[in-house]
Structure 1
Amino acid sequence: MAAAKKTTKKTARGRNQDRAKVAGGQKYEVGYEAKKTGRSASAVKKAVKKVGNTRKRVEKHLAR
């Protein structure tokens, strides 16, 4: 007997959750955030370590 095929619903939930975070170990994400805020990549990495990887918090910290 063949197993029933499970269908999954495609949503943007995962993508939106991913965009709300800054991956401090990903060079392209750090570079993007650095260019966007006008700060250095090392400043972005330090901000991620200090306030977490939530994009809003990182940007708020870098705006100081």
Structure 2
Amino acid sequence: MSDDKSKSGNQDRLRINVNEDYELRDWSAKFGVTPEQLKAAVAKVGVMAADVEKALKNN
């Protein structure tokens, strides 16, 4: 099931989908990391933005 881009709400803000170019770009910019670093963090801790942010701050 693909993202419904007409419905952006809390779920979209809480989870990171690294398979969507715009999300990869936006989340990478938000956290100040490269797309590769973001993908590695998601692979390590999962898709929840708060968990990814913590993981990136600990590196």
Fold match by TM threshold 0.5:
yes
Unaligned runs of 5+ in 2: 1-6
Between structure 1 and structure 2, the one with the greater Rg is 1
> TM-score, with normalisation over the residues of structure 1?
0.70
User: How far is the alpha carbon of 1:18 from its aligned partner?
Assistant: 2.3
Secondary structure of the corresponding residue to residue 9 of structure 2: helix
2:10 aligns with one of 12, 16, 40: 16
Percentage of pairs with the same residue: 35
What is the RMSD computed on CA atoms of the aligned residues?
Answer: 1.7
| 2: CA distance, partners of 1:30 / 1:19 | 13
1:47 aligns with one of 41, 46, 49: 41
Matched length: 52
Q: 1:29-60: per-residue Cα shift (whole Å, max 9, x none)? A: 11111111111100001111110000000111
Q: Which structure 1 residue ranges, 4+ long, deviate > 6 Å from structure 2?
A: none
> TM-score, with normalisation over the residues of structure 2?
0.75
